[in-house]
């Protein structure tokens, strides 16, 4: 009689583990955070304030500036002030 109870409890354990793994796989397949793209970008204005700009308002041909250009820009802004 005790052997039958052990088999039943093992079956229950395996059943619950399979159900939990199934829910995990289904949850991983429908990740809503997987496809999110940022809609805004943080940018520094000429007066030194940080603002968020919508990506659709930016031109498509952007380029990164070099460190030297940034340092010159900051020096020019300090000289004007």
Beta strands in 31-78 (DSSP E): 40-44, 50-54
pLDDT value at residue 35: 61
Instruction: Note the pTM of the prediction, 2 decimals.
Output: 0.35
Domain ranges, ordered by start, for the chain:
2-34, 37-80
Confidence of residue 57 (pLDDT cuts 50, 70, 90): confident
With contact defined as beta carbons under 8 Å apart, do 57 and 41 qualify? no
pLDDT, tens only, 11-24:
888 888 999 998 88
pLDDT, tens only, 62-73:
788 899 988 888
| Pure H helices in the chain | 2-29, 67-80
**Rounded Cα gap, residues 44 and 52, in angstroms:** 9
């Amino acid at each position: 009689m005790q052997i039958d109870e052990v088999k039943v409890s093992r079956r229950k354990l395996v059943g619950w583990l399979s159900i939990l793994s199934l829910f995990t796989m289904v949850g991983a397949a429908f990740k809503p955070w997987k496809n999110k793209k940022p809609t805004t970008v943080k940018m520094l204005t000429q007066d030194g304030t940080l603002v968020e700009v919508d990506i659709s308002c930016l031109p498509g041909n952007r380029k990164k500036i070099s460190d030297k250009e940034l340092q010159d820009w900051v020096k020019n802004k300090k000289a004007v002030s």
